[in-house]
């Protein structure tokens, strides 16, 4: 019998499947509640190296084999130790890559981000980050996010946890979370631009420790958002300027509605035809509870390469669960990382709403550990709502790296449309018949000119 004062092991392995130990959760009632929709059915998230060591020990006791880190995670750890990478911070004191990894993954643990996502985040070290923020008058309206679900940066401003954030506050809240992570990535620059203000705000990382940069950046963001939003929504003008930027750029547009300086068709054409989209990646971050007002962004995402659209967490989780099944552990952390990097990951993160299961190598790299084949099969593949259409290529999904788009082409032929699919609508079907091509196929044709993203 275990002593009452000795904490249970955090992880257990049963029949080759690693799970969070229920006894551990009971022993630690203050542990943050998971944001996975069906935690008892989903793959287990390991966020830190300490967690990985504990999970590996449990796995070895049960199977006699050590748990291995995925290829991309090993590469990420090596990169964080690279003096050239660490030198990009230009910090006043020499940074330790191991300490940096521990601090970053402690934030991962807070938001339930899998260890494998370090690799995705590190890609931003090659980019200029350009945040374009809608400060039009409509951003004063209420969003569908309550103070209960806000971060500590915003939650402390209202004791009524049932009250809803304004769309302006929702945009600020998302920026604060992003800065917590970006502080540990030496980007080529972070700039905030507001649609109705002349001067951009540059957040300078160089010569500072990640902690010092985060402290200063949070203060700057709080100050910038203390001014109430007022004005129109000149999105076309700002995107046209942004797409003329040199180098590798990640653009993030926070907005709640349609542009006022051009039609949505004109904005769609600008985005679809922009020069070198791989170096001008764009993420729409919709800050509204009015789905109709955000439809134009979703339609552009369907046809434009290196373009992503992210709704609020609960809407995104519902969509991913419908397409990937309860075995995929979509957390608030996954949602956060998708906001930051899905546009430059069209062949995995931006394809979570595809109706095809992901191959094992993609799941290994997401999770940061090499999943035992049984764990991939029983917890993920068989629970995917479309698994029956891909059982004939299951061995390939286990052995080969296949993008979701490649997997989709191998689907068993189905008999017609199904109106039970969450994305199906008569207007969508009629427009598809008229054009003779599905929007996702249009986007895939645009992406064919670019190589699939492969992990470091």
Spatial neighbors of 40 by CB under 8 A, at least 6 apart, are none
Residue ranges and CATH numbers for the domains of the chain are 117-447 (3.40.50.410)
Q: pLDDT confidence of 4, banded at 50, 70, 90?
A: low
Q: How many residues does the chain have?
A: 456
CB 108 within 8 A of CB 358: no
CB 188 within 8 A of CB 128: yes
CB 249 within 8 A of CB 128: yes
Q: What is the pLDDT of residue 445?
A: 53
Query: pTM, whole model, 2 decimals?
Result: 0.87
- Output the average pLDDT for the chain: 88
CB 235 within 8 A of CB 253: yes
| Collapsed DSSP state (helix, strand, coil) of residue 57 | helix
311-349 pLDDT, tens digit each:
889 889 999 999 999 999 999 999 999 999 999 999 999
Beta bridge partners, 309, equal: 284
Average of pLDDT values for 271-290?
94
Q: What is the pLDDT of residue 437?
A: 40
pLDDT more than 90, % of the chain:
71
pLDDT more than 70, % of the chain:
88
Pick left, alpha or beta for residue 263 (phi over 0 → left; psi -120 to 50 → alpha; otherwise beta).
Answer: beta
| Collapsed DSSP state (helix, strand, coil) of residue 249 | strand
What is the rounded distance in angstroms from the CA atom of residue 196 to the CA atom of residue 234? Answer: 8
Three-state SS sequence of 266-324: HHHHHHHCCCCHHHEEEEEEECCCCHHHHHHHHHHHHHCCCEEEECCHHHHHHHHHHHH
For residue 365, pLDDT beyond 90: yes
For residue 363, pLDDT beyond 80: yes
Q: What is the pLDDT of residue 24?
A: 76
Weakest-pLDDT range from 5-9, 251-255, 340-344, 428-432: 428-432
For residue 64, pLDDT beyond 50: yes
For residue 371, pLDDT beyond 50: yes
Which tokens go with 41? Answer: 């059915």
Token pair 């604060």: residue: 176
5-42 pLDDT, tens digit each:
667 888 888 887 888 888 876 777 656 689 999 999 99
What is the rounded distance in angstroms from the CA atom of residue 252 to the CA atom of residue 416? Answer: 37
What is the rounded distance in angstroms from the CA atom of residue 156 to the CA atom of residue 7? Answer: 32
For residue 162, pLDDT beyond 60: yes
Q: pLDDT confidence of 451, banded at 50, 70, 90?
A: very low
Weakest-pLDDT range from 53-57, 63-67, 226-230, 429-433: 429-433
Q: What is the pLDDT of residue 31?
A: 66
Q: What is the pLDDT of residue 30?
A: 57
Residue 52's CB is within 10 A of a number of other CB atoms, namely 20
CB 367 within 8 A of CB 46: yes
Higher pLDDT pick, 179 / 158: 179
């Amino acid at each position: 019998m275990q002593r009452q004062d000795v904490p249970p092991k955090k992880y257990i392995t049963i029949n080759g499947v690693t799970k969070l130990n229920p006894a551990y959760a009971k022993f630690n009632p203050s542990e943050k509640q998971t944001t996975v929709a069906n935690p008892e059915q989903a793959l287990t998230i390991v966020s830190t190296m300490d967690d990985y060591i504990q999970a590996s020990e449990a796995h070895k006791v049960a199977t006699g084999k050590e748990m291995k880190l995925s290829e991309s995670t090993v590469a990420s750890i090596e990169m964080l130790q690279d003096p050239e990478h660490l030198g990009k911070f230009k910090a006043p004191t020499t940074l330790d890559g191991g300490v940096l990894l521990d601090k970053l993954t402690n934030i991962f643990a807070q938001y339930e981000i899998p260890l494998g996502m370090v690799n995705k985040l590190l890609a931003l070290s090659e980019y200029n980050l350009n945040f374009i923020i809608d400060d039009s008058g409509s951003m004063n309206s209420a969003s569908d996010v309550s103070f209960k679900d806000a971060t500590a940066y915003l939650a402390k401003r209202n004791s009524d946890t049932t009250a809803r954030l304004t769309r302006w506050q929702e945009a600020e809240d998302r920026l604060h979370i992003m800065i917590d992570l970006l502080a540990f990535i030496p980007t080529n620059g972070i700039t905030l631009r507001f649609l109705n203000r002349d001067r951009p705000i540059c957040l300078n990382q160089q010569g500072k420790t990640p902690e010092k940069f985060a402290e200063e950046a949070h203060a700057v963001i709080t100050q910038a958002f203390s001014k109430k939003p007022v004005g129109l929504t000149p999105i076309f003008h700002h995107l046209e300027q942004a797409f003329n930027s040199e180098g590798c750029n990640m653009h993030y547009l926070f907005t709640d509605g349609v542009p006022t300086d051009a039609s949505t068709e004109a904005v769609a054409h600008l985005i679809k035809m922009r020069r070198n989209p791989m170096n001008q990646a764009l993420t729409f971050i919709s800050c509204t509870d009015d789905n109709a007002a955000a439809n134009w962004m979703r339609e552009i995402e369907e046809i434009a390469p290196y373009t992503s659209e992210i709704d609020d967490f609960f809407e995104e989780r519902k969509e991913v669960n419908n397409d990937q099944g309860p075995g995929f552990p979509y957390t608030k952390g996954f949602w956060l990382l998708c906001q930051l990097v899905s546009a430059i990951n069209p062949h995995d993160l931006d394809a979570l709403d595809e109706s095809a299961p992901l191959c094992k190598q993609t799941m290994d790299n997401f999770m940061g550990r090499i999943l035992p084949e049984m764990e991939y099969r029983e917890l993920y593949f068989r629970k995917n709502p479309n698994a029956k259409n891909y059982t004939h290529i299951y061995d390939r999904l286990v052995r080969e790296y296949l993008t979701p788009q490649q997997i989709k082409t191998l689907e068993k032929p189905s008999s017609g449309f199904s109106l039970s699919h969450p994305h199906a609508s008569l207007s969508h079907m009629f427009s598809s018949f008229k054009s003779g091509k599905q929007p996702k196929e249009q986007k895939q044709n645009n992406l064919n000119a670019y190589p699939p993203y492969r992990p470091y």
